[in-house]
Amino acid sequence: MLAEEKVHTLINAHSQADNFRLAALHRYHILDTPACEDFSFLTELATKVCEVPYAFISLVDADRVWIKSCAGMHMGELPRGESYCSLAVLGDAATEIPDLRLDPRTTTMRLTVSAPFMRMYSSVALTSSDGFAIGTLCVLDTKPGGLSADKRAMLVKLARQVMALIELRANEKTLSATVRELELLATTDDLTGLHNRRSLLHRLKFETARAKRFRAPLSAVMIDLDHFKKVNDDHGHAVGDQVLTALGRLLRDNVRVIDIPGRYGGEELCVILPNTPLDGACKFAEALRAKIEAQVHYAGTRPLHITASLGVGSFDHMEIDDADGLLRQADTALYRAKHGGRNRVECGTT
Indicate which residue of 183, 267, 268, 319 is catalytic. 267
- The pairs formed by 235-243 with CB atoms below 8 angstroms and a separation of 24 or more are 235/299, 235/304, 239/297, 239/299, 239/304, 240/267, 241/191, 242/297, 242/298, 243/297, 243/304, 243/306
Is 96 a known active-site residue? no
Distance CA(235)–CA(341), nearest Å, equals 24
Q: What is the number of other CB atoms lying within 10 angstroms of the CB of residue 140?
A: 25
Q: Which residues contact 132 (CB under 8 A, 6 or more apart)?
A: 20, 21, 24, 25
β-sheet bridge partners, residue 29: none
Distance CA(192)–CA(256), nearest Å, equals 17
Distance CA(305)–CA(295), nearest Å, equals 7
Instruction: Please give the positions annotated as active site.
Output: 267
